[in-house]
Amino acid sequence: MKAFLLIVTVLAGFPAVAQERPEIIRIPPRPTPCVRCWLPLQTKALNVEVNLDGRTAVTEVTQDLYNPGPRLEEGEWIFPMPKGSAIEDFTLFINGVETRAELLDANKARKIYTDIVRKMRDPALLEYMGGGLFKARIFPIEARGTRTVRLKYREVLTSDAGLYRYSYPLRAARFVGGKIGTFSLTARLETETPLQTVYSPTHRFDITRPKPRRAVLSFEAQNHPPDRDVDVLFSTGREPIALDALTHARGDERFFWMTVTPDLSQAEIVPKDIVLAFDTSGSMAGEKMEKALAALRFCIANLNDDDRFQIIRFSTEAEAMTDTLLPATAANRQRARQFIDGFRPIGGTNIDEALTQALAFPVDTKRPQVVILITDGKPTIGERNEGPLVERLKKDGRHRLFTFGIGYQVNTHLLDKLAEAGGGRRTYATPDEDLELKLSAFFNRVQSPVMTDPKLTVNGVRISQVHPGKLPDLFRGTPLTIFGRYTGSGSATVVLEGAVQGKRERVSRRIQFPQRRAENTFIPELWAQRRVGHLLDEIRLHGEDRELIDEIKRLARRYGIVTPYTSYLILEDSPKVAGNGRPRPQAPGVFQEAEESFRSDLAQRSGEGAVSVSEDLRIMSEADVAAPREKKRQTGGKDTTSLTEWVAGRAFYLVDETWMDGSLPDNPTYRKITFGSDAYFNLLTQFPDLAPILALGPQVNFLHNGTAYAITD
């Protein structure tokens, strides 16, 4: 039987997402021109269960491997260890039979990795050369048969600035290629002291926190792409409002990330005054009205006992339930339900009068003043121009205004500008969404304020380009994440100050802002997403500006973000294939055609395109989880796809057969190094932090310490 090597990288990944995809790899007796010559296995199913007690993680992985080939295969299985981990025990089962595994230290592991790279002409495993590995013989897998591998291992976690990090090297699955069929991961976290931050910058988990010291994170996906490693961060403590921070610094580019989390068990809920302005115009008739009214009843039922409230129905004119704000007693809630039962869809849309009445109620300075405007249309009666309506809200300055748009006929520019001027948030429900579910979820998010009018100051370094620029109120159960840039370095005092029941409260912490820090590369990526989303929104709402467009183009290139003003990121879905088996980029025409539609939607005030763009840019400007690297759009019925990689804190683009570093200057002078040569591995030995970059492929151009390198195959 021919020798095969089965490489399965199943690194401990917290609530992370996926896991390595295994492969049987044919090792040819001598180098061949083929970059990837192997018979791949398929991962039919992958389930990961993780238990964390704070500092120790126990991970159990069950993976079903399918051999689609026509003959039986066998080989060796290798498993890269998490870098810096201290694994206490490791158990490997194949089809229920415990299998011996050999633990190799980093030096022995390095030789195996190097041999694979030289023989396979593929460097995907290079980024794991800094650690050890396990090696075991895999039982033969019959033709078109399935084997189940079960792993269980324990590792000790380390902390960074008080945050524990659980990482899962999902990118190693690139060595196998393709997507993971059915993937599920559940992580259970239980600590001795109450949990504060629980956050993943890389994958969107469903996070539940049933008790102060417990959290459950879950992720499930079909055909999941292994396009990024997985990180989960968590901290513990007893502060009523916790503040955690991390930094990333490379050269002159220095970034910070902060998260503010109210203690779920102790945070004091601030009583609020809330006005619900509900559109009853004729266009609301039918199922839309019934679902919206059900959601409105939900809002009334879920007011806090110390709240005061009012309901305004508006169509041709506006009508409040009473002349004053009402305490949220059982009797008043019943009165509100009776008022709601009398709503009938008829007449025009008088947003002007609805706002006038909502802002007219007396203000209690100890209470947040919240207005929620729910409408499915644009103003047709009273003041119809955006400017005067927005200016009225700015002059008021006392109310938080949240807008909720229903359907496609809303004036998105008006609703978005009102939310912006009122320091609130905009939300839209499209016709294919569950209106009742979305409106009730929206209300849950804003019903329990903990701190209002928060302000962030940093003494010791200078911060800039902070997003969000104006911090929103802090609500129970909703952590606030902040991204920004800093200049200077050293220890600094971070202060968050805001109003709690009319009194100014403050949270402060000493944070280190270093000159250089290679870790936490998610920070510049998410900062850039928020920055570009903010700039595009400025253009959409206030018109094009050359300086804003130039900044968007620069950020898009540097950080690999698809925008209406960049045309070099898109590839056809089924393009021509280059000699190394990778897609070859097409001419930018298809991209430009796709983005012309998007740019047109930027200028539209209503319609499906306007609603879609508003929601896209809101999500982008609030991003706290990295966007998928594979992005698709439709152009005249044709799918287009961008092909980028985010590695070592920067974007790389596939141009013909070469990965190009987005931070390279124009017309650089390259130092050329042949892939797989002694000089190639000497470079990796001299600069171990280049491993993730070199792992991209045998042809990659990049900038390091001021020198431009060209790895050639």
- Which of left, alpha, beta for 384 (phi over 0: left; psi -120 to 50: alpha)? alpha
Indicate the pLDDT class of residue 428, thresholds 50, 70 and 90.
very high
Q: In this structure, what DSSP letter does residue 322 have?
A: S
Q: Could you tell me which residue, 175 or 195, shows the higher pLDDT? A: 195
Where exactly are the structural domains of the chain? 4-153+167-226, 241-267+450-520, 273-447, 523-646, 664-712
State the average pLDDT for the chain. Answer: 81
User: Do 4-153+167-226 and 273-447 come out as alike in CATH topology?
Assistant: no
What is the CATH number that goes with domain 241-267+450-520? 2.60.40.1230
Indicate the pLDDT class of residue 415, thresholds 50, 70 and 90.
very high
Most confident by average pLDDT, 333-342, 504-513, 597-606: 333-342
Most confident by average pLDDT, 396-405, 627-636, 648-657: 396-405
Residues 6+ apart with CB under 8 A from 402: 370, 371, 372, 373, 419, 422, 424, 425, 426, 427, 442, 446
Torsion of CA 211, 447, 204, 572, to 10 degrees: 170
> Between 412-421 and 608-621, two packed helices, what is the crossing angle to 10 degrees?
30
629 pLDDT exceeds 90? Answer: no
Q: What pLDDT is attached to residue 356?
A: 94
Q: Are 164 and 197 in contact (CB under 8 A)?
A: no
Task: Please give the backbone phi and psi of residue 41, each rounded to the nearest 5 degrees, phi first.
Answer: -85, 170
Q: What pLDDT is attached to residue 44?
A: 82
Q: Which fold has domain 4-153+167-226?
A: Immunoglobulin-like (2.60.40)
Q: Which residue has the tokens 């021509």?
A: 576
Q: Could you tell me which residue, 95 or 589, shows the higher pLDDT? A: 95
Other beta carbons within 10 Å of 25: 24
Strand locations in 447-524 (E): 449-459, 462-467, 474-475, 480-487, 490-500, 503-513
- Say whether 196 sits in a helix, a strand or coil: strand
Q: Are 16 and 166 in contact (CB under 8 A)?
A: yes
Question: Over the stretch 531-551, which tens digit does the pLDDT of each residue have?
Answer: 999 999 999 998 888 999 999
Going from the C-alpha of 348 to that of each of 373, 376, 428, 583, the distances in angstroms are 16, 11, 20, 54
The CA distance from 500 to 96, in Å, is 57
Q: What pLDDT is attached to residue 169?
A: 72
Going from the C-alpha of 541 to that of each of 47, 244, 302, 406, the distances in angstroms are 45, 33, 34, 19
Q: What pLDDT is attached to residue 215?
A: 94
Cβ-count burial 565-579 (b if 16+ within 10 Å, e if not): bbbebbbbeeeeebe
299 pLDDT exceeds 50? Answer: yes
Q: Could you tell me which residue, 642 or 290, shows the higher pLDDT? A: 290
Q: Could you tell me which residue, 136 or 31, shows the higher pLDDT? A: 136
Q: Are 216 and 189 in contact (CB under 8 A)?
A: yes
The CA distance from 409 to 608, in Å, is 8
Task: Please give the backbone phi and psi of residue 116, each rounded to the nearest 5 degrees, phi first.
Answer: -65, -45
Q: In this structure, what DSSP letter does residue 126 have?
A: G
The CA distance from 625 to 529, in Å, is 10
Nearest 5°: CA angle at 313, between 307 and 317?
135
Q: Are 697 and 659 in contact (CB under 8 A)?
A: yes
The pTM assigned to this predicted structure is 0.83
Cβ-count burial 400-438 (b if 16+ within 10 Å, e if not): bbbbbbbbbbbbbbbbbbbbbbbbbbbbbbeeeeebbeb
Q: Which fold has domain 273-447?
A: Rossmann fold (3.40.50)
The CA distance from 153 to 357, in Å, is 62
The CA distance from 431 to 615, in Å, is 14
Question: Over the stretch 431-452, which tens digit does the pLDDT of each residue have?
Answer: 888 888 888 888 887 878 888 8
Q: How many residues does the chain have?
A: 713
Average pLDDT over residues 303-328: 94
Q: What pLDDT is attached to residue 420?
A: 92
Say if residue 468 is preceded by a cis peptide, omega within 30 of 0: yes
Q: What pLDDT is attached to residue 1?
A: 38
Beta-strand relationship, 180-190 and 644-647: unpaired
The CA distance from 185 to 170, in Å, is 13
Indicate the pLDDT class of residue 627, thresholds 50, 70 and 90.
confident
Q: Which helix (H) or strand (E) holds 664?
A: none
